[in-house]
Amino acid sequence: MRYIVVDLEATCWTAPRNSDMMEIIEIGAVCLIGSAGPAVGEFAEFVRPAESPILSEFCIELTTITQNMTDVADPFTLVFPRFVDWIGKEPFRLVSWGGYDLTQFKKDCVRHKIPLPASFENHINLKQEFSRVKKLKPMGMKAALEILGIPLSGTHHRGIDDARNTSMIAQIILPLLKP
């Protein structure tokens, strides 16, 4: 079985806003060829948000994604089909840290009237599985890396770096799960 470990970045603001306003600005993903790896490919693309194209200072600071990076990026309507193409036709399970990424895909697909492939629903919430296997309360991905003694690589809150780090945890936890 292949595992697509994905991490999304999205528009955000300091003041609490309706999460329905959030739009994907980066899709980062790593493809694992089996539950213990190895990683055989990566997808990393920025996305130009449609409804709130101006990034907040807070969002730029959190993600290190600049206004120019999203200004020159394609919209979700072009990037998402490329992501689906990159995944390909072979069976896979989508993996992410928590439930957020799948929810955000659903919201952006509804916003842009693009169907979400049914295969995306075959999702593994690695945050939940990690806490179940380790018998610990659910925690952030950074804390989980520390527990496993894996150094955080790259920049936290960048989609591709978060996806790479999550894939390191996945390769330890996925082999322990029932098929």
Sign of CA dihedral 8, 14, 16, 17: negative
Of 9, 23, 45, 161, the residue at the interface with ligand AMP (CB under 6 A) is 9
Task: List 6's β-bridge partners, or say none.
Answer: 29
Q: Are strands 24-32 and 39-46 parallel, antiparallel or unpaired?
A: antiparallel
Closest CA to 111 of 28, 44, 30, 11: 11
Is the CB of 5 or the CB of 85 nearer to ligand AMP?
Answer: 5
Q: What are phi and psi of 30, to 5 degrees?
A: -125, 135
- Tell me which H or E stretch contains 2: strand 2-10
Task: List 13's β-bridge partners, or say none.
Answer: none
Is the CB of 9 or the CB of 34 nearer to Mg ion?
Answer: 9
Q: List active site positions.
A: 9, 157
Which of these ranges, 4-12, 48-56, 65-73, 98-106, lies near Mg ion under the rule CB under 5 A?
4-12
**Site for ligand AMP contains 169 (CB under 6 A):** no
**Site for Mg ion contains 26 (CB under 5 A):** no
Place of tokens 């527990």: 147
**Contact between 93 and 122 (Cβ < 8 Å):** yes
Rounded least distance, CB 120 to ligand AMP, Å: 17
Residues 137-176 binding Mg ion (CB under 5 A) are 162
**Site for ligand AMP contains 12 (CB under 6 A):** yes
Task: List 49's β-bridge partners, or say none.
Answer: none
What x-and-dash track marks residues 17-36 binding ligand AMP by CB under 6 A? -----x--------------
- Give 176's DSSP letter: G
Which of these ranges, 9-17, 39-47, 106-114, 117-125, lies near ligand AMP under the rule CB under 6 A?
9-17
- Return residues touching ligand AMP (CB under 6 A): 7, 9-10, 12, 22, 62-63, 157, 162
